[in-house]
Structure 1
């Protein structure tokens, strides 16, 4: 039998979002152009949409009101079953536990796309800020208060425990657990490691594989993976300015700053060799890519070219 073609998780998510949007109401002219541009980006985009259309035909007899209730993304819904059905039905056979986890993250209680942030207040008064491209689940029980971090970055200010029996507040990630010791802290989970920066009080880290433990005090930041916690270092204030919706550069080489733009906006940034070391300083919006790019072009001797779809940007000297 021919091998089934796998679909990239991001493309699959986009296909599902287009399906939901089109199901709710007809697209206007601008949206229609955007949809056609998305659909023709690659064979994978076309395949994802073909699978979605086939599923739409199979679900054609579901009453409209039920379809809307189950297919729409709702942050307060613990189990958006309709979207789960779409993703599993459209996707190829899942052969990797990691890939399966990525798919489930699409159904997280709270998540943000690239270039957006989200503020959340939990039942105990804890305040969270989700950075660009972040997904979390919230699990409060009689024994624990847990945040499951699938990917991305969160800032946490823990609320005062109101339960008669104290419940520890913990962040569970792929590399280990972080227990709050009455605090404000920032957690950023990447593929290879997780970083924790403590603004107030302290946190205790416990790595997944080696069970190594370490307490991080206020003003300090550490990096760790499943086996090892690296040495502490002082927090760099510019790294936390995303809480205020800003990307900050302080004599930062353009090549390094371009990587920050990639991480925040999900765009491919290519920097020409002759301008990689131009030093960038300033504050830029974390939620408006066009303004950021215009500011760079106006302040520094560079020009920026985008491809037709806007997903690839080249920076070169004027």
Structure 2
């Protein structure tokens, strides 16, 4: 499955990381160049930087040490709570800043989400009905069980679900909602991945009905072994799965003759910052099973197996170049 582009949430967090670096007072020329290169990757990168620059302007009256420490907490702790971050910034710089962040940045839903994982973190939940839910890296969701429905609101990221049996009367459907629509489980094991532009649903057992949010056509039913992507208006054609479950649940990244840029794009989901791959390496292929717990070791393994070298311009900027 080809990895999709970074989400706006990913870019916002990377921009925050860069802002913290710029505030550190120890900014090298290489770091300045790396930031400029990051901003020039796309219009979305530049917009993310401009958004945090607006925050920078609002924080100018806050002591630098205080603001920097709050943002380091926001971007550096695996167990961070964005609620606490927003609260800390509000106390430091006034309620208006917190409201600005809540109103104007996409990741704010993660700040108020019931459950959230940091970049590189995975977490397993057991819900009241016995459903087992595994959260992948940088995921945020709310669980809303009522008398009429078992509902998951996936604000961002990726989840794997094995639904439990609902013994209530009447039966309560199990539905995952994303910004693009809904996926209704029919006694099943399935995954849901919300990208910026579309949601991807893969079914490993049972069946799932997917319904784009603005679609007027009937819901599309996916049987076990199939997957589909959909946006708010339409669902793309169904395609067959190559495995009986996502590799990330086991803590690994699997590749079979995967183009190097695609492999690095997927690996980048599990680490902070940017992995920039030289276009000259686009023809290289990657195969194997790689543990996600230490992405630096994965990069080192690639350097041993392929004609490339890995350079760290900063902790947030990795350059992959021909050797």
TM-score, L = length of structure 2: 0.73
Counterpart mapping for 1:175-254 below 5 A: 175-212=180-217, 213-237=219-243, 240-254=246-260
> Where does structure 1 differ by over 6 angstroms across 4 or more consecutive aligned residues?
11-15, 37-43
| Structure exhibiting the larger radius of gyration computed from Cα positions | 1
- Does residue 262 of structure 2 align to residue 256 of structure 1? yes
**Structure 2 matches for 1:294-305, cutoff 5 A?**
294-305=300-311
For 1:118 and 1:133, the matched residues in 2 are separated by 10
Local SS of the residue matching 2:258: strand
- TM-score normalised to structure 1 length: 0.74
Q: What is the deviation of 1:182?
A: 0.4
Cα distance between partner residues in 2 of 1:155 and 1:81: 25
| Number of the residue aligned with 1:125 | 130
Give the direction of change, closer, same or farther, for the CA distance of 1:131–1:51 in structure 2 (3 Å limit): farther
Aligned length: 274
Higher RCO, Cα 8 Å, sep 6+? 2
Q: Which residue of 2 aligns with 1:272?
A: 278
Change (3 A) 1:117 1:301: same
Equivalent residue, structure 2, for 1:310: 315
1:211 to 1:271, Cα distance in 2 relative to 1, 3 A:
same
Residue of 143, 156, 167 corresponding to 2:172: 167
Per-residue displacement from partner, 1:55-113 (whole Å, max 9, x unpaired)? x89xxxxxxxxxxxxxxx799xxxx965554466373764996x455313222111111
RMSD of equivalent CA atoms = 3.6
Identify unmatched segments of 5+ residues in structure 2. Answer: 1-10, 36-51, 68-78
2:13 corresponds to: 10
* Secondary structure in structure 2 of the residue aligned to 1:150: strand
Cα offset, 1:39, TM superposition? 9.7
